[in-house]
Structure formats: C-alpha cells, structure tokens
Amino acid sequence: MTDLFDSFRRRIDYIRISVTDRCNLRCAYCTAESVPHLPHDEILSYEEIRRVVQAAVGLGMRRVRLTGGEPLVRPNLSTLVKLLYQIEGIDDIALTTNAILLSRYAAELKAAGLKRVNISLDTFKADKFKQITGGDKLKDVLSGIETARRVGLNPVKINTVVLKGFNDDELVDFAQMSVSQGWHIRFIEHMPLVTAGAEKAQLVAIKDMMAIIQRPLGVLEPCWPASGNGPAKYYQLSGAKGTIGFIGPVTDCFCSECNRFRLTADGRLRPCLLEDSEVDLKGPLRMGASIEELKKLMHQAAVLKKEQHCLSEEFVPSKRQMWQIGG
C-alpha cells in the first residue's frame, strides 16, 4: 500500500461521500436556485461506492464520512455502512445529517458499523428553524440528537453555521449546551457559496464568536478534539464535558492541513470543496475499471488539488451548489 500525497505534500487519508443529492430540507445558505435532481441511474450504487472506497483504502485513506444532500433520505443506508465496515483498513465511518430521520435509523446504523454523527443545527427557535430550513422539524432534530447519544453514536457533534443578524444571538445558548448537556458544538463561519455579494455581510468571524461567548461564560481554554482531526480548533468552558470548536474557512484558512477528497453522488471526485475541478470515476467504474485504474484516477485528482481556496478573492464555485457536493 502506498499513501497518497498531493503536490504540496499533504497526505490524503479521508474521503467524504455524497450518497444522494436529495434533501428533506431547503436551507437558505445551501441552495440558491432550483436545480433538477439526478436521475436514479446517474447516482452511484452502493456496490460502486464500495469499490471506490476499496481503491481509496489501498492509497491509505482510513476514514469515510457519508453525506448528502441528506444521506438518510436514501433507502437502506445501513446496507452501505455494512459494506464499508467490512473493508479491511477502514478505521472510522461517520455520517453528517440534519437528524430529521435519525431517531428512526440510529440504532440500525450503529449496528451496521457507523461510529458517530455530525448533526446540523443552526437555531433552537422553531420560527427561525422554519425560516432558514423551509421545514417545521426542529423537534425531530432534537429527538435525533438524543437518540444518537443513547445508542452510542458518540461523540455527537453539532454543526452550527453562524449568520450575522440571524442566529449570532444564540451563540451563548449553544455554548452552554457543552456544559449542561456535554454537547460537542462546532461553530462554522458562513461561506459565500450561494451568491458572492450580499451574503458576505452575514459573516461572523471566529474572533467575534469567541468574544460573544466569553463575555458571559468565561475563558475558552484550548483542548484536544473529542475525535477526528478535521479543521476545527477546539476549546472548553470551565466545568464542561463537551467541547466548542470553531471552523473558519474565511478568516482562518485551513487549506495547509487539508487531507480529504469528496465524491459526489454522481461519481465525480473533487479535490476541493471550493474549487470546480473534478475527476470522473463513474464512467470508468461502469466500464469495468480495476482497483488499480481507480487508484490512478485518484492520483490525477491529487495533482489537481490546489494549495489554497480562493474565497479571499471572492471566487465562488459555479458548477455545483453545496447540496450537490456534500459539504
């Protein structure tokens, strides 16, 4: 086995896999306009995904995250989890979800081999939740969080995109959950991926988030993450069992540590979330490509990986919206 490095000597050991472009919400910062969904036969089958992961493992990738759209809207997702769990060399299988369906499937996914979940939640207020997501499902999300914790999909991480003038007044409420409930919160700077102009005004920088939290709650002390080695920088409040992470793609670029590929639901391998370059894997897969041939395509994708994204230059990827990439 040979580990995979890009042109800047960054080791790639993590692959995020979008299993569907469909979602049961319509979050404002994720979807800018109506785009037709992929026909079923354009989406990779579970066996095709498994074959891609086998090739990835052969290049040293050890961690897999399943995303969407909303991955739980794809039928029998536990079947895929089980297929991946059986691949020798996989250390971690995780899931990013909006948790609306998680209460229904959490135990089944845990039994199939899923280790942990990241759950998207931007507000505790039902009216705001409906405003930003287009759905009246806040109670389902909160139930999904508790069910995931109960069945052992730990640590449960809560991903919160912070928007100025919308939910920045709830930063303290979320932070307090790391103390009272042991939640692992990750606050994420809003990225201007839908439109490059007006949305930039919604950015709340990490330093400002920290100031808002520390004013009433005290010092945030640096700490190690509960799991994983992603881009967040982690802190703890005094007496907290949970952690508070900050992800700053705009003001705290983490490209120098990037270790991941993204596979879209229609089988394109993307070296970067914020860049339009892709390598087609679906075509070769369906032409009978061997594992070694898939590895060569992954090497091609690694060469395409740039040193840094271009958000600072107000570049906005144009080929796909966020829900088509998997975040």
| Domain spans in the chain, listed from the N-terminal domain onward | 4-325
User: For residue 171, what are its two tokens?
Assistant: 């930063």
pTM of the predicted model, to two decimals?
A: 0.92
Q: Between β-strands 14-18 and 63-67, what pairing exists: parallel, antiparallel or unpaired?
A: parallel
47-67 pLDDT tens trace = 999 999 999 999 999 999 999
Dist. CA 91–CA 85, nearest whole Å: 9
In the beta sheet, which residues pair with residue 163?
203
pLDDT value of position 319:
62
94-128 pLDDT tens trace = 999 999 999 999 999 999 999 999 999 999 999 99
pLDDT value of position 197:
40
- The yes or no reply on domain 4-325 and CATH 3.30.70.580 is no
pLDDT over threshold 70, residue 199: no
Calculate helix-pair angle for 126-133, 138-151, nearest 10 degrees.
100
Binned at pLDDT 50, 70 and 90, residue 192 comes out as: low
pLDDT value of position 198:
40
User: For residue 67, what are its two tokens?
Assistant: 């995303």
Of the chain, the percentage scoring pLDDT greater than 70 comes to 88
